[in-house]
């Protein structure tokens, strides 16, 4: 696993903490990347120290694009924005040019490594044009969006949901989507800002639970200076080498403001600094044992481009460890889509972001998206109900299994991942068997295996392996309920078109009627979402005799539903394909 350790000097008042962080890192012989903000480039004493450290310890120096409203030249622009991704293209150009110019005038070269909480596609293009030497940037905050917005009392305008969780090759049309080819790649490697707890990223506010010890204190997931979760989380990242051909990644970037007097940390400064130091000591220990490589960001850029092919899928098998529930989640990200499989919800898809439509997306005051850089979802069970537990159910997938009029929903049967098999084009998950008992006393055992393909296809295999009554016949329905959006609120679905193909050819516009359209000899059912250039479909993958249906939603349940149903007996199995395809609609 590769690890980047990043420090920044912050302002004058925070300088003693920066010096302390640097001392910890240097004493432990950890390679450190130091990001300077614009105003730091005018501080002679600081620059002298940073250059001395570079000579003595080898520190890498780069730029951190932040706190822009405080800079002299942004004040001259008469702008109040603080962050790069929110300016207009013209202003982004001025800001990047001025940062690079000043950096070069101080150090005599342009930076290889830079960072910003979010590097939008316009900023990235300008950066590549203005500073072709730049190879790598911190480029996004994984799953920060609605939940962090709420958590910061509705005042933090960073919407980066639906992005890759590991370092990625950003596509030119949307920096939060991985490129599928060298031609589509912007030319700069992006890394996420921190590695998050990938179970709690789905369940809640994930800046609390990341590779940032002081933020874990902000969550109060420690007891004084005792905070083993920071180390547990790093080991969870190391675990991901098993599923990514030996590759994994983490970074730590704690600003000096966090180590003393933070209003969001209720522990003493001594405890806070002790936790940070112990975290770095663990990095040093693992590094000495050759378990991880702590490298400069520029070194990581080279390693990544040498070791990870453009277009490769990345996977993360997350286990919830802080609350002690040990739930299983599986994340998958390729240039076609990003998926989350939720074992607590019976192995259903809890989050689906289709990248395949290739619709451009960029934040900024001069774009239609403004601050909302998040990639839209088709399914997001946390925001959009998921399994039914209040009123009607919401966005999710599942298998419905019925016997003599009684229907059971696989979402009600939590399971676990039994095994993961990774292959170049696909990954196969085998889930723990689920035992379902009906009111009449009859019980049946179901085995699910799931094949996930890079190209935007997933095949659900369902086999009935055991039943208390040999000849019982069940009606099983593979089920997808979805919408689209970037927040909790429903979008207008009137431009969505629903299809079912079989004995009949059905095509209906979404109209909030609540109607169901069904055909015998079902081959497929699908929904076209024009705004995303995407068709989401469910297909009969084994030519079995089945029905296919589509359901129009209604205002109290604003979703479209796809279903393929057939009879099934013990000893038999079904294969159903869910996929996302590009649908040129505009």
Partner 1 sequence: MPECKERKDVLRCPFCLGKENDVLLRKDDSKFYCVKCSFQGSREEIMQYYALHKKRFANRTKRITLEEIERL
Binding site for partner 1 (CB under 8 A): 13-17, 19-20, 147, 150-153, 204-205, 208, 218-223, 226-229, 231-232, 235-236, 238-239, 256, 259-261, 263-264, 266, 269-270, 273, 319, 321-324, 326
Of 166 and 499, which has the nearer Cβ to partner 1?
166
Of 111 and 213, which has the nearer Cβ to partner 1?
Answer: 213
Minimum distance of partner 1 from residue 14's CB (angstroms)? 5
Three-class SS of residue 52?
helix
- Min separation Cβ 72 and partner 1, Å: 24
Strand-pairing partners, residue 364, are 370
Which two structure tokens, joined as six digits, stand for 18? 């920066």
Q: At a CB cut-off of 8 Å and minimum separation 6, what does 194 contact?
A: 141, 142, 207, 210, 211, 212, 251, 252, 253
Q: Which is nearer to partner 1, 151 or 511 (CB)?
A: 151
Instruction: Quote the least distance from Cβ 342 to partner 1, whole Å.
Output: 16
Q: At its nearest, how many Å lie between partner 1 and the CB of residue 417?
A: 11
Q: Could you give the C-alpha distances from 305 to 167, 300, 422, in angstroms and in order?
A: 10, 8, 21
Nearer to partner 1, 72 or 232 (CB): 232
| CA dist., res. 552 & res. 13, Å (int) | 59
Closest CA to 224 of 212, 216, 235, 236: 216
Among 246, 251, 240, 379, residue whose Cα is nearest residue 315: 240
Q: By C-beta, is 184 or 271 nearer to partner 1?
A: 271
8 A C-beta contact, residue 541 and residue 575: yes
Tell the smallest beta-carbon distance from residue 176 to partner 1 (Å). 23
Q: State phi, psi for 26 to the nearest 5 degrees.
A: -70, -40
Give the integer Cα–Cα distance in Å for 360 and 250.
28
Least distance to partner 1 from the beta carbon of 154, Å? 9
Least distance (Å) between residue 161 CB and partner 1:
16
Q: Which is nearer to partner 1, 79 or 319 (CB)?
A: 319
Query: Residue 255 Cβ, how far from partner 1 at the closest point, in Å?
Result: 12
* For partner 1, the closer CB: 263 or 586: 263
Nearest approach in angstroms of CB 533 to partner 1 is: 34
Name the residue among 471, 475, 467, 473 with its Cα closest to residue 441: 467
Smallest separation, CB 262 to partner 1 (Å): 9
Nearest to 334 by CA among 270, 424, 434, 420: 424
DSSP 372-437: B-PPPBSEETTTS--S-SSSS--SEEEEEEEETTEEEEGGGS---EEEEEE-SSEEEEEEPPEEEE
**Tokens 């989640």 appear where?**
329
Q: State the minimum distance, in angstroms, from the CB of residue 494 to partner 1.
A: 34
Instruction: Compare residues 42 and 323 and give the one whose CB is closer to partner 1.
Output: 323
DSSP string, 470-514: TT--EEEEEEEEE--BSSSSPPP-TT-EEEEESSSEEEEE--S--
Report CA-CA distances (Å) from 67 to 37, 70, 87, 215. Answer: 8, 6, 13, 20
Nearer to partner 1, 15 or 110 (CB): 15
- Rounded to the nearest whole angstrom, what is the least distance from the CB of residue 11 to partner 1 in the complex? 10
- Which of residues 130 and 152 has its CB atom nearest to partner 1 in the complex? 152
Kindly tell me which of 108 and 324 has the beta carbon lying closer to partner 1: 324
Beta strands in 151-303 (DSSP E): 170-171, 174-178, 189-192, 249-253, 293-294
Q: By C-beta, is 298 or 328 nearer to partner 1?
A: 328
Hey, which residues does 575 pair with through a beta bridge?
A: 461
Sign of CA dihedral 508, 509, 513, 516: positive
């Amino acid at each position: 696993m590769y690890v980047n350790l990043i420090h920044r000097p912050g302002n004058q008042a925070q300088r003693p903490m920066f010096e302390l962080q640097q001392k910890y890192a240097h004493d432990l012989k950890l390679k450190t990347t130091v990001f300077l903000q614009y105003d730091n480039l005018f501080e002679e004493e600081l620059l002298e120290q940073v250059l001395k450290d570079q000579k003595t310890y080898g520190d890498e120096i780069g730029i951190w694009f932040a706190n822009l409203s405080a800079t002299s030249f942004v004040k001259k622009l008469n702008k109040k924005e603080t962050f790069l991704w929110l300016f207009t293209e013209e202003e982004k150009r001025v800001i990047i040019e001025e940062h690079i110019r000043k950096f070069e005038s101080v150090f005599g070269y342009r930076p290889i490594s830079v960072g910003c909480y979010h590097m939008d596609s316009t900023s990235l293009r300008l950066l590549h044009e203005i500073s072709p030497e730049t190879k790598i940037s911190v480029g996004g905050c994984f799953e920060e969006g609605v939940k962090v917005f709420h958590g910061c009392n509705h005042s933090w305008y960073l919407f980066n949901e639906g992005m890759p969780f590991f370092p990625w090759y950003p596509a030119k049309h949307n920096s939060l989507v991985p490129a599928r080819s060298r031609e589509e790649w912007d030319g700069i490697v992006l890394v996420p800002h921190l590695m998050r707890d990938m179970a709690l990223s789905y369940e809640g506010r994930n800046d609390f639970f990341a590779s940032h010890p002081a933020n874990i204190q902000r969550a109060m997931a420690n007891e004084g200076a005792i905070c083993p979760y920071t180390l547990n989380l790093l080991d969870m990242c190391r675990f991901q080498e098993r599923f990514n051909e030996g590759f994994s990644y983490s970074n730590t970037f704690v600003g000096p403001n966090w180590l003393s007097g933070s209003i969001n940390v209720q522990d003493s400064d001594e405890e806070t600094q002790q936790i940070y130091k112990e975290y770095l000591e663990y990095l040093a220990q693992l590094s000495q044992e050759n378990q991880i490589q702590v490298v400069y960001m520029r070194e990581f850029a080279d390693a990544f481009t040498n070791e990870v092919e453009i277009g490769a899928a990345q996977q993360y098998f997350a286990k919830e460890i802080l609350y002690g529930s040990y739930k299983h989640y599986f994340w998958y990200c390729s240039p076609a889509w990003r998926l989350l499989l939720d074992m607590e919800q019976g192995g259903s898809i809890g989050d689906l972001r289709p990248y395949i439509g290739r619709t451009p997306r960029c934040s900024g005051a001069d774009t239609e998206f403004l601050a909302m850089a998040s990639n839209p979802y088709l399914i997001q069970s946390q925001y959009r109900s998921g399994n039914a537990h209040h009123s009607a159910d919401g966005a999710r997938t599942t298998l419905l299994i019925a016997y003599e009029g009684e229907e059971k929903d696989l979402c009600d049967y939590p399971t676990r991942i039994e095994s993961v098999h990774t292959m170049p084009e696909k990954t196969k998950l085998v889930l723990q068997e689920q035992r379902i008992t009906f009111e009449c006393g009859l019980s049946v055992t179901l085995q699910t295996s799931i094949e996930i393909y890079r190209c935007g296809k997933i095949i659900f295999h369902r086999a009935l392996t055991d039943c208390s009554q040999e000849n019982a016949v069940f009606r099983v329905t593979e089920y997808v309920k979805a919408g689209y959006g970037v927040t909790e609120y429903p979008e207008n679905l009137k431009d969505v078109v629903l299809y079912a193909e079989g004995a009949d050819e059905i095509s209906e516009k979404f109209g909030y009627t609540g109607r169901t359209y069904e055909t015998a000899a079902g081959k497929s059912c699908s929904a076209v979402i024009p705004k995303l250039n995407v068709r989401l479909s469910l297909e009969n993958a084994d030519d079995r005799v089945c029905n296919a249906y589509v359901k129009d939603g209604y205002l109290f349940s604003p979703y479209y539903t796809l279903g393929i149903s057939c009879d099934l007996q013990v000893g038999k199995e079904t294969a159903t394909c869910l996929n996302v395809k590009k649908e040129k609609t505009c």
